[in-house]
Amino acid sequence: MKVPATILLLALTCSLVTASTTRPIVKATTGPRPYYLIDNLPEGALKTKLESCADDRMVPSDFSIGHRGAALQFPEHTRESYVAAARTGAGIIECDVTFTKDKELVCRHAQNDLHTTTNILLTPLAAKCFKPFTPYDPATKSPATAECRTTDITLAEFKTLVGKMDGANENALTVEEYVAGTPLFRTDLYTPPAKGGTLMTHKESIELFKQLGVKMTPEAKEAVVEWPYDGFTRADFVQKIVDEYQALKVNASDVFIQSFILGDLAYLTTSYPDGFGATAVYLDSADTIKDVPSKATLASWKASGINIWAPPIWVLLQAKDGQIAPSQAAIDAKAVGLDLIAWSLERSGFMTNPDHGGWYYQTLNSIITRESDILVTLHVLAQDVGLRGIFTDWPGTVTYYANCFGLARAQC
């Protein structure tokens, strides 16, 4: 039998991809969460469609972006969290980038969060923390506090720590009570106290992501130390992020550098207009509705070379006639030619809490009534707003949706 040339070409292409990359994650395992949310949906077209995909083979999707890895169930920015994100189908994974005392790049959500995301307070390195642990004061009702920065320690010292689920007990009288502050909607199941998660340098995250076959979205974090830091400028910091991708021969098209700072975007779009600048992501820091940018502002960002705008979920949505609908900002952004990414799904705790999704859903709080409204929100963002991707603390939920609605990455 003669084999068509197109099939031979596809086979050759797949063999080349297999030979040139290490991709152990070719089948996504979403876990039970999306099924739980689907069961919670009211009867209707969305539930019927999602139920029809229950037995489908799931594959990774670039629509599913691992926010700090898979932080709903694994300690954020640890190797374990990153691997879990890839296994649950994230096609893109985030390393928030900051730096240590000796100016080495590491993956942490903030320069000053070691006290809530690692075991530093339980180690001798606690003596180096910017602010030592202070217990809760019953007399004044002052909360327990601490502040430990990556710039308090060297890279070698950083690598002796282990990751834990982000959280702190503000009513703690002891350090042990303080670090045992995991929120109820998360879990310590995969963080045994004797081990914890493996902390990562930025370079190590790149090497791991290459092995997993995923794309990468580092965020150039804002610093709590003053610039320049021991001669290290903000531009030096952003450039060092780029340098580590170039040194490891990662294509700029596979890297989406994020920042809340327009100056960082200007640096990237000017220095690398056809590379890292073209894929750079402007993170919007809008806190309330008054902070949402106008169409003119959105157009000015696009004209400056920014192609991707990433606001929080609520900025792109509104409650209209009792339903979730695209916001004017979402409509305006698409009109001026911006691609959209939103943050962050599966990070709000229980949707049925009195705050009905809280800050991330502030334009929808009045109509959020059940856990499965996560899927309704996702559906509107994907189909009506037209996102190119969404950050999520449990990629499996988005991966399931993406596969069911044809948004999954093509696989050989």
CATH code assigned at 367: 3.20.20.190
| Six token digits for residue 260 | 């809340």
* pLDDT at res. 23: 56
Q: In whole angstroms, give the CA distance from residue 109 to residue 114.
A: 9
Partner residues linked to 17 by β-bridges: none
* pLDDT at res. 16: 31
Residue 411, in any domain of the structure: no
Q: Note the pLDDT tens digit of each residue in 178-209.
A: 999 999 999 999 987 678 999 999 999 999 99
Q: In whole angstroms, give the CA distance from residue 312 to residue 138.
A: 37
Tokens 């739980």 found at: 36
Total number of domains constituting the chain:
1
Rounded to 10 deg, the angle between the 202-212 and 234-247 helix axes is 40
* pLDDT at res. 175: 98
- For the chain, how big is the Rg over CA atoms in Å? 22
Grouped pLDDT means (10 residues each) for the chain, 412 residues: 34 33 74 97 98 96 98 97 97 98 98 98 98 98 98 98 97 97 93 87 98 97 98 98 98 98 98 98 97 98 98 98 98 98 96 95 96 98 98 98 88 40
Q: φ, ψ for residue 14 (rounded to 5)?
A: -65, -40
Q: In whole angstroms, give the CA distance from residue 39 to residue 371.
A: 10
Taking the CA atoms of 232, 237, 238 and 240 in sequence, report the sign of the dihedral they define. positive
Domain coverage including residue 308: 32-111+199-405
- Contact status, residue 325 vs residue 380, Cβ threshold 8 Å: yes
Residue 302, in any domain of the structure: yes
Model pTM?
0.93
Residue 275, in any domain of the structure: yes
Q: DSSP of 290-316, one letter per residue? A: GGPPPHHHHHHHHHTT--EEE-BGGGG
* pLDDT at res. 409: 66
* pLDDT at res. 411: 42
Residue 58, in any domain of the structure: yes
Residue 159, in any domain of the structure: no
- Contact status, residue 100 vs residue 199, Cβ threshold 8 Å: no
Residue 178, in any domain of the structure: no
* pLDDT at res. 15: 32
Q: How many CB atoms lie within 10 A of CB 261?
A: 16
- Give the 3-state DSSP-derived string for 59-93, with helices as H, strands as E and coil as C: CCEEEEEECCCCCCCCCCCEHHHHHHHHHCCEEEE
Residue 16, in any domain of the structure: no
* pLDDT at res. 19: 32
* pLDDT at res. 70: 98
* pLDDT at res. 24: 67
* pLDDT at res. 218: 98
Residue 354, in any domain of the structure: yes
